[in-house]
Each structure stands twice: as C-alpha cells, then as structure tokens.
Structure 1
Amino acid sequence: MPAVARLRPNDFFSPEEWAGLSARSSWKGLALVIHCWGVIALAVALGVWIPWLIPLSVMVIGTRQLGLAILMHEAAHAGLHPNLKVNDWVGHWLCAVPIGASLSAYRPYHLSHHKYAQQVEDPDLPLSAPFPVTRASLRRKIIRDLTGQTFFKQRIAPFFVRVPPDEDLPEGARVTARSAAPFLLVNGAMLAGAILAGVWWAYFALWLLPLATWFPMVTRLRNIAEHACVENSEIDPLRQARTTHAAWWERAFIAPYWVNFHAEHHIFMHLPCWSLKRAHRLLAEKGVTEAMEVAPGYGAVLAEASGR
C-alpha cells in the first residue's frame, strides 16, 4: 500500500504558531533526560530508605523506564538535541541501552511505522489489530506483564529459542535483542554501583524488577491507547492515532513526557514532545480536535479496548 497521507502544518497553524511549536532546543531534551534519571534516583533512594515503599518505587521507576523509551523515541525523530551526534549519543546510551533497546535499530523500524501507520506494512500493527478483546483476555495480558512473563518472552527467550510472532511480540520487541552487549555492560555497571554502595539488592528490586513488570505493563497500556480501536485510522490522516487526556496520576504512573498526545505526534511527527500539549490546545481552539480521536482518560480507552 502507498504511504499514509500527510497534512501540511500551514493548513492548521499560522507561520508564527508553527515556528514556536517546531523550534528545536539545545537544552529542553537534555533536561528531560536529566529529569527522568533524577526521578529514578529519588525513587531508588526512597525504596532503599523505606523498604515498605518499594512497591511505589517500582511503579515510579517502571514508568520512568517507559520515559527513557519515550525519550529514545524523541531521539529517533532527532528531537532531543539540534546536534545529531549529541542527539544520537544521548538517545542511545542514556535512554535506549539501559532498558535493552538500540536507537540505531529502533529508528528505521519506527519511521516505517509512521510511513505506513495502521496499514498492513505497519510493523506496529500487531499491537493494535487484535483489539477490541474481551475483559478476560486483557486481564490475562496484564497479568503476564506484571508477573514477568512478557519480559521473559521478549528479552530472554529469543536468545535460546525462536519465539513465534504474536500480538505480544511484534518486530519492535525483537530488535532489542541486538543491543544485548551494551545492555549487559551498562546494567553490569549499575549492579557494581549498587554493590559498592552496600545495597546490592537494590539493583534487582529497584531496577530489574520494574523493568520486568511495571514497564511492560505501562508499555502495553500506551500501545493500546495510541492506536487500538481507532476507526478509519488507515485512511484518515487526522485519525492515525489517539490522544488521551491524562490526569496528574496517569502522567506519573502511565504516560510521562506528553506521550498521551499521540494523535498530534502522528499528524506532525517532527514536533518536539514538549510542544505536543500546546499543539493540542491550538487545534482544539480551531475546532480540529472534533475530527480527531480523543479519549477522556486511560480508563475509557481500556473500557473500549476490552468491550468485546
């Protein structure tokens, strides 16, 4: 099938509005990376200091691991820094590698997703095509995520056996296996740091456990919210993805760094992530969001996705 249709920014924004929205920054992307690691560090410290708060720390850290994936995604669009070498180094070593991903492998895969969004050539189509499902099916998927089964299937099993593709293992998960050596190197350094600090167990309880449980779960919720059950998404450029309004607690535990404004990202895929909320507000003022897929919250999306 041909590539999806693209819309022109000047059909929606004045030159001044678009210049403000699309401007790259030499510090905002880097500040987000620092913020992400700062939140992780504080959550680790909290779990070490008050062990009975480890479940809360696991949720916070798992969401910020998703935050690292989101910032890797930003780097794939060259949005973290105007200097491409800085953009790619930060996006790869500080965002992708710690969570077992590879920016160089992810970028062509992800740009293909944008080129063929919701069409048969879209490599992310297996993430949204099965929906809606039954509540029991969605519950089983979430249980697999929170018990580490999804992590094992995506990150461990491919090294030993050939895992057949299904909705839980799209091509996007397979490319992470290419960064095994850097992942082990960086995570080995993190474990060594925990040992030197006298809290060896913190690496397992406050980094590896979130990576194996909460991170896969919120990644699934993100994927469902972005593209599942969006009518006419394969033909309407305004409906290639869904934007989901997120309360403060949803931004803290499910959708960091404006990832919930996914419709705007697909319409104008080179906008920096920090501009997406403002773009949504401007589009709403112009009445454009009435033609877009916009959900009031993640609960509403999950209710629709499990309504079969």
Structure 2
Amino acid sequence: MAVATRIDPKTLFTPQEWASLSNRSTWKGLALIAHAWVVILAAAAVAVIWPLTIPLAVMIIGGRQLGLAIMMHDAAHGALHKNLKVNDWAGEWLTGGGLHRYRPYHLTHHKFVQQAEDPDLVLSAPFPITPTSLRRKIVRDLTGQTWFKQRFGLVRGQLAARKAGEPLWPILKAEIVRKRRLLIGAAVTIALTAPFGLWWAWFVLWLLPQATWLQMITRLRNIGEHACVAKDERDPFRCARTTYAGPIARAFVAPYWVNYHCEHHIFMHLPCYSLPKAHRLLLSKGLGPQMEIRGSYMEVLRLAASKRPPATFAAA
C-alpha cells in the first residue's frame, strides 16, 4: 500500500502564515451553510413567483446543494467548526446528512490518493475519454439517469436477484430506512407548501436540481479534481488539480472554493475559505510551476475529452 506523501507545512510557511491559514473559525463555516440555504430559498421563492425562472433556479439550487455537500466535506476533515462536537453536528444535520458514512470513505481517498487503494480512483481512471463519451455522460446526468442509478441501483439489483417466494417487504423496508431523510424532508416540505397550492415545489425546486444539475456539476468537479492525473502519482503537488473559476463558474459549478483541490490535498485539514490564501502564498513562494493548475473548467473538459475515437475505414 503506497500511502500518499505528506508535506510538513512548516517547510513552506512561516509560523504566522500557517497560523492564519489553519485557524478554524467558530462562525465562518456555519455562515456558509446559512448562505447556501438562503440562496436556495431565495431562488425557490423567485421561481414560485415567476415560473419562467425555474430553469435558472434549478441551476442555482443545484449549485448550492453541491455547496452543502462541500460543507459536509469540510466537516469530515474537522474543518467546519473549531468545536468538533459542533463540527460533527452541523455536518450531519445542517448539510443534508451522511457525514458519518462519508468520513471514513473520504479519508481513505486522501490516504491513498491516485493509488490502487483509492476508492475514488474509479472516477478518474477512465479519462481521457472521447468527446462523444463525455457528452453521453452529461446527457445521463441532466436527464436524471445517473441519479436514479445511484439512488436505486442497489434495490433494483436486490429485487432482480430475489428468488421466487422470497418476501418483498424486507428489501423495501431496508430501502425506506436508507431513504428516510429524503422521505421525511419531502413529507414535511409538501405538508407545509400544499396548503398554498405549492405541493409541486419540493419535486421541482429540490428533487429536480438534485437529480439533474447537481449530478452534472458533481461530475465536472470530479473531472476537475483528478481526471488525467497520473495513476500512482506520489507528488502531492501533482496528485490533484486546482482549476481557476470565474464568477459564473463559482455561482453554478464550483461554490465555496472547491476548485482549489490541489491545495486541499496538500493541506487537507484547512477550511475551504483558507484555500485561496494558501494558493496565493504558494504562488508567491514560486511553487506554481510544481502544481497541477488549469485555467478553467472548459480547459479541463477539453483535456478529459481528448481521446481520439477509433479510426473507421470506408469499404474499398
């Protein structure tokens, strides 16, 4: 097992620089969670008032759903709040949940990044792919096929493997338990909105963004982070990628500084709001050429879809 190489931050930063980077705020992480929810509610309210804005709302809400996942990710590293009990509670209950299942999985990714034991290697290993293949993946994301497979693939497999006469209820019960937060959230939201004639709001303004736009930008994020990075790469400056993101990309694709992924892997316990400063300090120390950096997500997509399709020959 080839454990990922670690860098002592003291070899790169002064004590004052590192203290300013590694300080965990008691309010910034919670404020970012609040910001994500406020944006979601504001976009939903505008969409209810002006239904023509629903497509835009789907993109905005999907982007903030990813933002909540980023906050849960920070909590997995103990970086969301200075108090670890508050950190874990907020990461589990204010971001959509799943922290306690996600943490061991994700820390294994950091321990063995780009190595055979990396559980996320399957996400980056296929790249580069052909442009046609990438388009097919994006279409599956935007049409909900990816979401359906991820959410219901297990129960579909269990139902398909069920023997004749085997009871159905235990399989369905286990699936209900796994989906209980989704079901409770749906029931509460529908109960609160239905008296106002907005029974559809949860389906259109929460489930639809989650099943479509969130799936696509999660794929784009995964591609930006590790696609076309060499397998078995041990250099901590090269095993993950930072992708520059302008205002539009930050609003719809890469919220809350998730694009600074190289810095995150070098210093995985830094809060997300410290990553831009860490990036600037590394550049100021002349380390930019050693790092895996790309200028935009479009540049990364061109790299990820750079595989040439097999040549075809016309019949003589």
The answer on 1:131 being equivalent to 2:141 is: no
Paired residues of 2:127 and 2:228 also in contact (CA < 8 A) = yes
Amino acid aligned to 2:279? H
1:118 alignment partner in structure 2 = 114
Task: Specify the alignment match of 2:22 in structure 1.
Answer: 22
> Who is 2:212 aligned against?
213
Where do 1:1-308 residues align within 5 Å? 1-97=1-97, 102-161=98-157, 179-231=178-230, 234-308=233-307
Q: Is the 8 A contact 2:114 2:230 kept in 1?
A: no
Larger Rg over CA atoms: 2
On the 8 A contact 1:233/1:239 being kept in 2, the answer is no
Count of matched residue positions in the alignment of Structure 1 and Structure 2:
292
Distance in 2 separating the partners of 1:177 and 1:189: 16
The one-character-per-residue Cα deviations of 1:35-71 (angstroms, maximum 9, x if unpaired) are 0000000110111011011000000000111111111
- Aligned twin of 2:168: none
Q: Which runs of 5+ in 2 are unaligned?
A: 160-174, 308-316
- CA shift, 1:188, in A, is 2.2
- Cα distance in 1, alignment partners of residues 195 and 3 from structure 2: 52
Q: Could you give the per-residue CA deviations for residues 213-271 of structure 1, whole angstroms, max 9, x where no partner exists?
A: 00000000000000011247622111110000001000001000000000000000000
> For 1:277 and 1:10, how far apart are their aligned partners in 2?
18
Between the aligned partners of 1:194 and 1:39, the Cα distance in structure 2 is 18
- TM-score, L = length of structure 1: 0.91
**4+ runs deviating over 3 angstroms:** 176-179
- 1-structure distance, mates of 2:232, 2:35: 34
Does the 8 A contact of 1:242 with 1:295 survive in 2? Answer: yes
Same amino acid, percent of matched pairs? 58
Classify the secondary structure of the residue corresponding to 1:31. helix
Structure 1: stretches of 5+ with no match in the other structure: 164-175
Q: 1:233 & 1:22 partners in 2: Cα distance? A: 28
TM-score by length of 2: 0.89
Specify the SS of the correspondent of 2:17. Answer: helix
Distance 1:220 1:64 in 2: 15
CA distance in 2, matches of 1:187, 1:290: 48
Shift of 1:191: 2.4
| Whole-angstrom distance in 1 between the partners of 2:202 and 2:53 | 16
C-alpha displacement of 1:145: 0.2
